[in-house]
Amino acid sequence: MTQPTPRKRATHPSLAAKKRPSQQRAAVTYEHILAITAELLGEVGFERLSTNLVCARAGLTPPALYQYFPNKYALLSELGQRLMQRQNEVIPRWINREVFTGSVADLEKALTGLILDTYSVTKQTPGGVWILRALRAVPLLEQVRLDSHKAVAAAQTRLLGEAFPDVPTKQLALVSRVAVDLPYAAVEMLFDVKMNARAVAQLVAAMIASQLDRLRSAARG
């Protein structure tokens, strides 16, 4: 009896850069490739983006590009990680232990500032809105976004744990994850729908800050 041919596992394009430049000339080329990719994203979107377009605009041959990035998804992954890092660098300006132990109004103000700054950073990043959309729409890239949100949520859980040591960590982790994802969703919405950015930020901030009294009640038992 003939044995069925085992199915081959589906292979996915690599998201890792092939080579990180160690010399200045290579580093300049590496950054040039990424800058051109971001520029093209703003012009054609992520679906029409291709390595051939990047090579033509950057003045490189495909083999020269492939020394660093094996495909367009590796380019998008690198740009995505950089955008997430820029967004995350905004957080400490607004969120710390003191704001969690202050008033609800103080937390609302901090969260409003955080959302508006995150929106601004994304808007100012070349190709930022398209990078954001690619991280949401391309299944291969979603882990970049999810890993970033997970790391931020873990950091916020630790801060909340310092402010509310008597509240179960599981509850704090739930609040943290929702408090991380809602602002990001609000930022994405502001690029898709014409709305007043401050009004949206204030509404989302109020929704999240309302949990502060619940945490204090939980801490009191």
Domain-embedded: residue 129: yes
Domain check: are 68 and 92 in the same one? no
CA dist 32 and 151 (Å) reads 29
pLDDT of residue 16: 65
Residue segments in the chain with a per-residue pLDDT below the cut of 70 = 1-22, 221
Total-model pTM: 0.88
Q: What is the CATH number of the domain that holds 56?
A: 1.10.10.60
Domain check: are 110 and 34 in the same one? no
Q: How do residues 32-53 score in pLDDT, each as one tens digit?
A: 999 999 999 999 999 999 999 9
Q: Which residues, other chains included, contact 57 with Cβ-Cβ below 8 Å and sequence gap of 6+?
A: 36, 39, 40
Domain check: are 154 and 179 in the same one? yes
pLDDT of residue 175: 94
pLDDT of residue 114: 97
Domain check: are 94 and 171 in the same one? yes
pLDDT of residue 24: 84
Residue 199 corresponds to which tokens in the numbers above? 């009004």
Q: How do residues 61-71 score in pLDDT, each as one tens digit?
A: 999 999 999 99
Cβ atoms within 10 Å of 92's Cβ, excluding its own: 10
CA dist 36 and 158 (Å) reads 39
- Cα angle 11, 15, 20; round to 5: 135
147 in helix, strand or coil? Answer: helix
Cβ atoms within 10 Å of 122's Cβ, excluding its own: 21
CA dist 214 and 179 (Å) reads 14
Domain-embedded: residue 13: no
Q: What is the CATH number of the domain that holds 173?
A: 1.10.357
Domain end marker among 72, 104, 136? 72
Domain-embedded: residue 185: yes
Domain check: are 93 and 48 in the same one? no
Domain count, the chain: 2
Domain check: are 154 and 174 in the same one? yes
pLDDT of residue 218: 84
Contact, 127 vs 79, CB < 8 A? yes
**Is 48 exposed, middle or buried, given 0-12, 13-18 or 19+ CB atoms closer than 10 A?**
exposed
